[in-house]
Amino acid sequence: MHPKIASISDDSVALVKRLLNETAQRVDEHLPRFLPEVGQPAQQVSEAMCYSLLGGKRIRPLIVLQSAQSFGLPADIAMPTACGFELLHTATLIHDDLPAIDDSSLRRARPSCHVAFDEATAILAGDALIIAAYDALAAQAHNDGVSARVVVQVIAEFGTYAGATGVIGGELADIHGETVGTNRELLEYIHLNKTAKLFEGAGRAGAILAEASDESIKAIGSYCRTLGLLFQVTDDILDVSSSAETLGKPVGVDKQAGKQTYPALVGVEGAHQYARDLAEQAAELTDMLPNNHRFWRGLVKLVLDRWA
Ligand code: IPE
Ligand code: IPE
Ligand code: MG
Ligand code: MG
Ligand code: MG
What integer pLDDT is reported at residue 278 of this predicted model?
Answer: 98
Residues with CB under 5 Å of ion ligand 5 are: 235
Which ligand number lies closest to the CA of residue 95? 2
Mutate to test the pocket of ligand 2, among 115, 191, 194 (most ligand atoms within 8 A of CB): 194
- What does the radius of gyration of the chain's CA atoms come to, in whole angstroms? 18
Atom of ligand 2 nearest to the CA of 101: 8
| Average pLDDT, integer, range 184-195 | 98
Task: With cut-offs at 50, 70 and 90, classify the pLDDT of residue 46.
Answer: very high
- With H, G, I as helix, E, B as strand and everything else as coil, classify residue 39: coil
Q: Residue 111 carries which DSSP code?
A: E
Q: Virtual CA dihedral for 213, 218, 220, 223, nearest 10 degrees? A: -160
What is the residue with the minimal CA distance to atom 1 of ligand 1? 93
What integer pLDDT is reported at residue 182 of this predicted model?
Answer: 97
Identity of the residue numbered 277: D
What is the residue with the minimal CA distance to atom 11 of ligand 1? 56
280 in ligand 2 pocket by Cβ < 6 Å? Answer: no
Contact 34, 114 (CB under 8 A): no
The rounded mean pLDDT for the chain is: 97
What integer pLDDT is reported at residue 145 of this predicted model?
Answer: 85
Task: Measure 121 CA to ligand 2 centroid, in angstroms.
Answer: 20
Which ligand number lies closest to the CA of residue 94? 2
Q: What pLDDT digit, counting tens, does each position of 51-90 carry?
A: 999 999 999 999 999 999 999 999 999 999 999 999 999 9
Q: Residue 106 carries which DSSP code?
A: E
What integer pLDDT is reported at residue 144 of this predicted model?
Answer: 80
Closest CA to 231 of 305, 147, 136: 305
For residues 160 and 38, give the distance between their C-alpha atoms in angstroms, rounded to a whole number. 29
Number of H helices, E strands in the chain: 16, 2
What integer pLDDT is reported at residue 143 of this predicted model?
Answer: 85
Identity of the residue numbered 137: L
Task: With cut-offs at 50, 70 and 90, classify the pLDDT of residue 1.
Answer: confident
Q: Residue 163 carries which DSSP code?
A: S
Fold (CATH) for 3-307: Farnesyl Diphosphate Synthase (1.10.600)
Give the binding-site residues of ligand 1, using a 6 Å CB cut-off.
Answer: 56-57, 59, 89, 108, 195, 232, 235
| Average pLDDT, integer, range 114-118 | 98
Q: Residue 192 carries which DSSP code?
A: I
Q: What pLDDT digit, counting tens, does each position of 120-147 carry?
A: 999 999 999 999 999 999 999 998 889 9
β-partners of residue 107 are 110
Q: What pLDDT digit, counting tens, does each position of 214-235 carry?
A: 999 999 999 999 999 999 999 9
Q: Give this prediction's pTM.
A: 0.98
| Phi/psi of residue 106, nearest 5 degrees | -130, 130
Domain range list for the chain: 3-307
Q: What pLDDT digit, counting tens, does each position of 241-297 carry?
A: 999 999 999 999 999 999 999 999 999 999 999 999 999 999 999 999 999 999 999
195 in ligand 2 pocket by Cβ < 6 Å? Answer: yes
Mutate to test the pocket of ligand 2, among 86, 87, 89, 93 (most ligand atoms within 8 A of CB): 93
For residues 293 and 271, give the distance between their C-alpha atoms in angstroms, rounded to a whole number. 26
197 in ligand 2 pocket by Cβ < 6 Å? Answer: no
Which ligand number lies closest to the CA of residue 92? 2
Q: Which residues, in sequence order, are CB contacts of 243 under 8 Å at separation 6+?
A: 251
| Average pLDDT, integer, range 103-126 | 98
- pLDDT-above-90 percentage for the chain: 98
